[in-house]
Amino acid sequence: GAAGATGFGSMADTGLLESLLRLLEKVDGGTDSQDVAADLGVDHQVIVGAVKSLQALGEVISTEQKSSKHWELTGEGREIAEQGSHEARVFNAIPDEGLPQNELMKMPSGKVGFSKAMSNKWIRLDKAHEGGPRVFKTVETIEDTVRDKLQLVQKGQSAKLEDKEKNELKKRKLLSEVTVKSYWITKGSSFSTTITKQETELTPEMIASGSWKEKNFKPYNFEAMGVAPDCGHLHPLMKVRTQFRQIFLEMGFTEMPTNNFIESSFWNFDSLFQPQQHPARDQHDTFFISDPALAHEFPQDYMERVKKVHSEGGYGSQGYKYDWKIEEAQKNLLRTHTTAVSARMLYKLAQQEKFTPVKYFSIDRVFRNETLDATHLAEFHQIEGVVADYGLTLGNLMGVLHQFFTKLGITKLRFKPAYNPYTEPSMEVFSYHEGLKKWVEVGNSGVFRPEMLLPMGLPEGVSVIAWGLSLERPTMIKYGINNIRELVGHKVNLQMVYDSPICRLDS
Amino acid sequence: MPTVSVKRDLLFEALGQKYTDEEFDELCFEFGLELDEITSEKDIISREQGDEKAEGASDVVLYKIDVPANRYDLLCLEGLVRGLQVFKEKLEAPRYKRVSPADGGEPQRLVITDETASVRPHAVAAVLHDVTFTQERYESFIELQEKLHQNICRKRTLVAIGTHDLDTISGPFTYTAKPPGDIRFKPLNQSKEYTATELMSLYKTDGHLRHYLHIIENEPLYPIIYDSNGIVLSMPPIINGDHRKISLNTKNIFIECTATDLTKVNRFTVILILLLFCNNTIYTLQFKRLESVRFFIFLKKLILFQKGCIKSQVTELAYRTETLSGDFINKRVGINESAESIAQLLTRMCLRSEVSGEGDLIQVEIPPTRADVIHACDIMEDAAIAYGFNNIVRSTPRTYTVANQLPLNKLTELLRQDLAAAGFTEALTFALCSEEDIADKLRKNIAETRAVHISNPKTAEFQVARTCLLPGLLKTLAANRKMPLPLKLFEISDVVLKDETKDVGARNNRRLCAVYYNKSPGFEVIHGLLDRVMQLLDVKPDRNQGYHIQAAEDSTFFPGRCAEIFSCGKSIGHLGVLHPDVISRFELTMPCSAIDIDIEPFL
C-alpha cells in the first residue's frame, strides 16, 4: 500500500539511528552496514533494522543492497581457536617421560590428535615398552599452525590465508563460507543527523488542534497502486450487449420478445421457407427436444399456406416440390436463430388490420449442435435487426447497415453475394480491418423471400430487410480474447471480468 | 460452405488472363465467391505433417475458393471458369439438350427392380461418349466426383455416383437389391471375389470406405447394379466392381446415380447432381473440343417419385422461361437501369435474357442447372450481383418508428447495474447443462424438475435446458477457487421450464440468482441482498402487501438454513445456506449461501 511496508511501530530506537547518522556524516562516499555494526559494537541484524527505519523516513539516507561472502569458523573451529588443535593438545598432554597409549587415547582429542601428531612427527610410539605401548615427544616445541590460521579468520583477517589453506580447513569442517546481505549506506538528499518523527496520515485530532502545522508528513509513494474499490462487476459480454441494445434504441428499433429458447421446427424453419430436407435441419446441426417433443398449436390457415408454398409453390414461386410433412414442422428444438422470433413477429404484424412499418431488434441466445472449437460454442448470442416497410430496396439495406456499423466505429463496408435459404438477395457484410490489413466478415444480411412473407399475409409491396451478427465475435475482438471459453460459460476467469474496461464500441 | 481447390496457373490459362492475387480476390468477391487461401501442396503438407514430409511435394500455387452452398455448378475448375467467363462476358452461357445416340442405336437402359424400394429406391443414369482423358483431366474428373459426394451428396448418404467404362460392360443394366450373403463380386482394387458380408468386415479398417458402411450395413438387402451379363458395376454407395474401372484410356463412360429417400432429398437433386457431373465432366474432358461431345441422358424408368408412381421419361432437363419487368428489378434493388441493360446483366449470370418488346418486360431463361432459381426474387438477386452490390447507391429508408424496450429486458438491465453496485459480480453461464447438474448435484429428482430434455446431445453437457441458474454459478465458483475470498456472483437470465399452456410446451422464466462463497456461510449477506433487491423493486417488508421470508425445507439447502421468499403472498424463490453435499458435488470446499428468485412477478 501507499503507506509503505514498514510501519513506524517497529522503529529502531532513536539513539541508535542518530549514532548511525553521525557515523555516516564522518565518512565520505558511504559505508557498509557490516562496518557500522563493527564500529558501534552491535549485531549486524540490529543495524539492518535501523537502516530500514531510516529508509522509511524518506530521503535521509540512500542505500544499495550488497551481498558479500566471508569465511566463518564452525563450532569445532572456534574450539580449536580457543584451545588449540587436537594434535597440539595431544602433544602438550605428553610429559617428558611419555604416556601409555591407552591413557592418551582416552583424551577427547586422543584419536584425531594422535594420528595428526604422528604424521607431523611430533611424537613417537614405543610398542615394545614394558607395561604396554607408550607415547613419547620427539621435539621440544611445536608450532600450532591450524590454530593460528583459525585465529586469523576469527579476527576477520581471512584474506591473509591462501585459498588452498582455507579450502583445507573447510574440508576439515573447521571453516565455512557464508553469504552476508548488507547495505551500502550513503547520505540521502535530505540527510540530517537528527531524527524528526514523521506522521503517516492526517488525523481528526491534528485538524482539531492545528498540530498538523508542526508535523512532518511521511512522503507518499505515488508509484504504488491504490486500494481496489470494494465493488461488483458486470460481465464484458453483457456490457457489449448493453451497447448494442443502446445502438438499436438510438436508431428507433423496438425490442422483440426472444425469451423462448424452445421453438417448433415450424417457426424456426418452415415459416422461413427453409425446406424440410435442408442440412441445417439435421440432427448434426440442431438440438431437437425429446420432452416436450412436439409443438401442438399452430395458426391453421397460415400453416396450410406454408405447406402449399413449400410443396407446390405459389406467390410467384416454383416452391421446392416435395412432400411437406406436419410431423417435421411439429418437432420441437432449441432455436437455431432468433429469426424464428422475427417470423412470429412478422406474422403477428400481418394480422393487424392495417399494415404499419416496423423496425425490430433482438439480442439473445441461439443454439447449434456443432463441433466445438476455440471460437464455437453450442450456444451463442445473435444480434438481429429487421425493418419492414413498403418499397424497401437492397440499397436501403446497405444504407441501414452503414448507419448501424458506423455506430460501432466501422465505416468501411463492402458487400459480398451470399446464400441463405430465407433471404434473397443475401449479402455478407465485410469491413476493412485496419490492424489485419484485410477485409473481414462482420455480419450477414438480406431481404426476406416473398415465399416467407406473403403466406403470413403481409401486403405484396412490403419488403423486409434484415441482418444479423454474433455478439461474441465483436466482444472477443474488443477485449482481445482468443478462446471463447475464456469469455462465456463457467470457465471464465473472474479476474478478467473484474479487470475489463467499460465498452464504447465506437472508440 | 464447400471449398474448391484449383491450380492458379491452370485457372488463369482457362480464363485466358492473368490476375494478381488482389485482382482475383476482387473478382471472386463481386461474383459471390471468396478466395479463402493461397497455398500449395507443399505448404499444406508442411503445415499438417511438418517440413520434412513436404520435401519434394509440388509447390504449384493453389487457390482455395469458397463456393456458396447453392452453387454446385461452380464446384470444379471447369464450372468455375465457365461461370466467371460468362460473368465477364467472354463466353456465352452454354445451352444443354438431351440428344439421341449418334449411331441411331437404341438408348441404354437402366432397369430398377422393386427390391430397391426398402434401401435405396432411386436411380438415374447417363452415358458420355467419345471422351479423351489426359492425366490432369482424369484427376479433375475423380476429384469432382469426390467433391460432389462430400457436399451435395452429403457423404453419399443422399446420393452416390458410380462411373464405369461402358466399353467393358453391356446394357441393359439392372439396379436391384439382394441379401448381402447372395452378392459376390471382385471389388475395385482387390484381387479376389468377396461376398457383400465379407466386404463389410474387410472395409471396417479402410480409412476411406469405413465412413460409408453405416449407410447400408444394417439393411436386410444391399443395393447392387449388374450389366446384362451379370457383371457387377457397383454396390452403391460403397464400392464399384473391379472390371469396370475407369482408366486414362476410357472412351465411353456410363454414369449412375442412386439415391435414398425423398423426404431428405429434393426430387430434382438427383437429376441435378447427374447433370452437374456430366456437364462439368464435359468441360473437364473436352475443354477445347466442346462441339464434338455427344451428351446423353437415358432413362428407361425414372423412379424419382415414390414407388408405384413411375414415369418413363426425364422431363426435368427442360429450360423454363420467366417474364418479369425491369421496373420490378429496379425497385427491389434500388437502381435505375433500362430493360435492355438488365437483360444483359442477367445473361452474364448464365440466365439468358432478352427484352420482350412489351413495355419493359424481360424474358429470362432458367437453365436446368440453376435449381436455386424458383422465384423472381432469385432473378432479381442475379441482376444485383451482375450490377455489383457495391455499385448500388446506399440510402437510408424513410421508415419512421418509435423504439420500445421489452419490459422484461429493461427490468433486467436496471437490476444488473445495481447488483454490481451492491458488490456482486456478473457471471454468464450456459443455458444447456447435464441432468446431473440440475438434479443429482442439487439433491433433486430429475423427474420433478420440469426440465426440457434434448434428444440428440453429443455430450452430457447438453442433455437438458437449465431449470435454475445455481449450477452455472457454482461451476463458475469452482473454476475460480484460487481467487481471493469472498466470491460474490450473480446472474439474471432465463431458465426453461415445461409448460403445457404454451404452443411448444415449454417457456422461459427470467430468474435472478446470487451466491456468496466464503469461510463463513454468510446467510445474512445473501439475506441482505434480498432486502436490497426488494428495496430496488420498491417492495416493502410486509407479510401481506410486501415481501417476507419463511423457514422452509429444500433438499438443496442445509436443514434449518433455508427460507422461502414470498412477495405479495406468492412464492418467488428460496434463499439459504447450501447443503454440504451440494457444495462437495460441485467440487467446492467452503460454505456457500445462495438466493434464487423469479423476477417476472415484478414487471
Encode pLDDT of A435-486 as tens digits.
Answer: 778 888 899 999 999 999 999 999 999 999 999 999 998 888 888 888 888 8
Q: Which residue has the higher pLDDT, A283 or B399?
A: B399
CATH class of domain segment(s) B3-91: alpha beta
In this predicted structure, what is the pLDDT of residue B310? 32
CATH of the domain at A206: 3.30.1370.240
- Measure the CA–CA gap between B328 and B336, rounded to whole angstroms: 10
Confidence of residue B503 (pLDDT cuts 50, 70, 90): very high
Q: Which residue has the higher pLDDT, B357 or B496?
A: B496
In this predicted structure, what is the pLDDT of residue B291? 29
Interface of A with B in 101-140 (CB under 8 A): none
- Measure the CA–CA gap between B245 and B247, rounded to whole angstroms: 6
Overall average pLDDT of the A101-109 stretch: 83
Range ranked top by mean pLDDT from B77-81, B146-150, B558-562: B558-562
Confidence of residue A320 (pLDDT cuts 50, 70, 90): confident
In this predicted structure, what is the pLDDT of residue B318? 65
* Residue A287 sits in the same domain as residue A344: yes
- If you count them, how many residues does chain B have? 603
Secondary structure element (H or E) that encloses residue A452, with its range: helix A450-456
Check A424 against B375: CB less than 8 A apart: yes
Check A253 against B401: CB less than 8 A apart: yes
Overall average pLDDT of the B176-200 stretch: 89
Confidence of residue A159 (pLDDT cuts 50, 70, 90): confident
Distances (CA, A) of A304 to A156, A307, A311, A323: 107, 5, 11, 13
What integer best gives the mean pLDDT of chain B? Answer: 84
Chain A residues close to B487, C-beta within 8 Å: 494
> In this structure, is residue A359 part of a structural domain?
yes
pTM over 0.80: no
In this predicted structure, what is the pLDDT of residue A221? 79
Taking the Cβ of residue B57 and every Cβ of chain A, the question of whether any pair is shorter than 8 Å is answered with: no
What integer best gives the mean pLDDT of chain A? Answer: 88
- Measure the CA–CA gap between A439 and B25, rounded to whole angstroms: 11
Instruction: Say how many CA atoms lie within 13 Å of B124 toward its Cβ.
Output: 26
pLDDT of B243 above 80: no
pLDDT of B78 above 50: yes
State the residue for C-alpha cell 549485531. Answer: A43
Locate A348 and state its grid cell: 403477428
Among A270, A384, A416, A438, the residue to mutate for chain B (most B Cβ within 10 A): A416
Range ranked top by mean pLDDT from A103-107, A149-153, B593-597: B593-597
Locate B455 and state its grid cell: 434428444
Q: Which residue has the higher pLDDT, A203 or B487?
A: B487
Confidence of residue A9 (pLDDT cuts 50, 70, 90): very low
> In this structure, is residue A175 part of a structural domain?
no
Task: Determine what percent of chain A is predicted with pLDDT higher than 90.
Answer: 42
Distances (CA, A) of B116 to A33, A67, B263: 100, 91, 16
Per the CB < 8 A criterion, the answer to whether A432 and A354 are in contact is no
CB atoms within 10 A of CB B590: 17
* Residue A410 sits in the same domain as residue A282: yes
- Measure the CA–CA gap between B357 and B553, rounded to whole angstroms: 83
Residue B177: closest CA among B232, B234, B110, B225: B225
Residue B433: closest CA among B514, B496, B502, B515: B496
Confidence of residue A254 (pLDDT cuts 50, 70, 90): very high
Ranges of CATH 3.30.56.10 domains, chain B:
3-91, 320-387
CA B351 to chain A, closest CA, distance in angstroms equals: 16
* Residue A112 sits in the same domain as residue A199: no
* First-to-final CA distance of chain A: 33
CA B203 to chain A, closest CA, distance in angstroms equals: 25
Instruction: Say how many CA atoms lie within 13 Å of A483 toward its Cβ.
Output: 9
Q: Which residue has the higher pLDDT, B521 or A376?
A: B521
In this predicted structure, what is the pLDDT of residue B311? 34
State the residue for C-alpha cell 421419361. Answer: B313
Please state the ipTM of this predicted complex: 0.82
Ranges of CATH 3.50.40.10 domains, chain B:
97-282+293-297
In this predicted structure, what is the pLDDT of residue A281? 85
CA A354 to chain B, closest CA, distance in angstroms equals: 15
How many folded domains does chain A comprise?
3
pLDDT of B290 above 60: no
Per the CB < 8 A criterion, the answer to whether B537 and B562 are in contact is no
Locate A4 and state its grid cell: 509503505
In this predicted structure, what is the pLDDT of residue B96? 63
What are the two backbone dihedrals, phi and then psi, of residue B364, each rounded to the nearest 5 degrees? -120, 130
Residue A334: closest CA among A284, A368, A380: A368
Lowest model confidence (mean pLDDT) among A326-335, B194-203, B271-280, B484-493: B271-280
* Residue A245 sits in the same domain as residue A189: no
Distances (CA, A) of B106 to A219, B50, B109: 107, 56, 9
CATH class of domain segment(s) B97-282+293-297: alpha beta
Confidence of residue A111 (pLDDT cuts 50, 70, 90): confident
* Residue A306 sits in the same domain as residue A447: yes
Lowest model confidence (mean pLDDT) among B32-46, B213-227, B454-468: B32-46
Range ranked top by mean pLDDT from A80-89, A148-157, B517-526: B517-526
pLDDT of B507 above 90: yes
- Measure the CA–CA gap between B584 and A144, rounded to whole angstroms: 72
Overall average pLDDT of the A199-217 stretch: 86
For residue B92, the 8-state DSSP code is P
Q: Which CATH architecture has domain B320-387?
A: 2-Layer Sandwich (3.30)
Q: What are the residue ranges of helices labelled H in B422-561?
A: 435-438, 470-479, 523-536
Lowest model confidence (mean pLDDT) among A163-177, B3-17, B70-84, B97-111: B97-111
Residue B325: closest CA among B392, B379, B368: B379
Taking the Cβ of residue A100 and every Cβ of chain B, the question of whether any pair is shorter than 8 Å is answered with: no
Beta bridge partners of B321: B365
Among B270, B401, B510, the residue to mutate for chain A (most A Cβ within 10 A): B401
pLDDT tens digit sequence for B267-286: 455 555 665 565 555 544 43
> In this structure, is residue A17 part of a structural domain?
yes
Sheet holding B232-235, edge to edge: B110-112, B173-178, B222-226, B232-235, B239-240
What does the longest C-alpha to C-alpha distance in chain A come to?
141
Check B403 against A494: CB less than 8 A apart: no
* Residue A201 sits in the same domain as residue A122: no
Domain boundary pick from A127, A143, A159: A143
Chain A residues close to B30, C-beta within 8 Å: 417
Secondary structure element (H or E) that encloses residue B223, with its range: strand B222-226
- Measure the CA–CA gap between B163 and B253, rounded to whole angstroms: 7
Overall average pLDDT of the B465-470 stretch: 97
In this predicted structure, what is the pLDDT of residue B555? 96
In this predicted structure, what is the pLDDT of residue B554? 95
Q: What is the CA radius of gyration of chain A?
A: 46
In this predicted structure, what is the pLDDT of residue A2? 36
Q: What are the residue ranges of helices labelled H in A33-171?
A: 33-40, 44-55, 75-83, 86-93, 101-104, 110-119, 145-154, 163-171
CA B590 to chain centre: 46
Residue B419 is nearest to which of A232, A264, A414, comparing CB atoms?
Answer: A232
Residue B474: closest CA among B429, B527, B409, B443: B429
Instruction: Name the residue range of residue A58's domain.
Output: 11-63+183-213
Overall average pLDDT of the B253-264 stretch: 70
* Residue A15 sits in the same domain as residue A131: no
b/e burial code for range B223-254 (CB count within 10 A of at least 16 → b):
bbbbbeeebbbbbbbbbbbbbbebeeebeebb
* Residue A312 sits in the same domain as residue A381: yes
pLDDT of A327 above 60: yes
* Residue A325 sits in the same domain as residue A242: yes
pLDDT of B119 above 80: yes
Per the CB < 8 A criterion, the answer to whether B237 and B212 are in contact is yes
* Residue A209 sits in the same domain as residue A310: no
Overall average pLDDT of the A400-414 stretch: 91
Secondary structure element (H or E) that encloses residue A398, with its range: helix A394-407
CATH class of domain segment(s) B407-602: alpha beta
In this predicted structure, what is the pLDDT of residue A195? 76
pLDDT tens digit sequence for B5-58: 888 888 888 888 899 988 998 888 888 888 888 888 888 788 877 777 777 778
Interface of A with B in 384-423 (CB under 8 A): 387, 389, 391-396, 398-400, 402-403, 414-419
pLDDT of A392 above 80: yes
> In this structure, is residue A159 part of a structural domain?
no
* Residue A410 sits in the same domain as residue A472: yes
